[in-house]
């Protein structure tokens, strides 16, 4: 069953996706010296996001999610 949880408009503190973006941006900032082109930035983004297991308290704020996320 899929359920939809509505977040308050323009409320990043409620949206768990904002935490994912922050983690990925932090990773890319650590390796900014390698980013000579947008292609490399995209590769770093994909490299980090594909291998990362996002685990933060806010993800469970709106209900129980399976452990495979």
Statement: residue 8 has pLDDT above 70: yes
Distance CA 27, CA 2 (A): 31
Q: What pLDDT does 53 receive? A: 65
pTM: 0.55
Domain ranges in the chain are 16-49
Q: What pLDDT does 18 receive? A: 80
Question: 9-66: per-residue pLDDT in tens?
Answer: 777 777 777 877 888 888 888 888 888 899 988 888 888 878 766 666 666 666 655 5
Cβ density class 20-53: b for 16+ within 10 Å, e for less: eeeebeeebeeeeeeeeeeeeeeebeeebeeeee
Q: What pLDDT does 63 receive? A: 62
Q: What pLDDT does 69 receive? A: 46
């Amino acid at each position: 069953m899929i359920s939809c949880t509505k977040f308050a408009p323009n409320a990043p503190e409620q949206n768990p996706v904002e935490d994912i973006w922050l983690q990925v941006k932090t990773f890319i900032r650590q390796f900014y010296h390698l980013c000579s082109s947008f292609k490399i930035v995209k590769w770093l983004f994909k490299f980090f996001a594909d291998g990362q297991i996002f685990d933060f308290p806010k993800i469970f704020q709106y209900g129980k999610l399976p452990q495979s996320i």
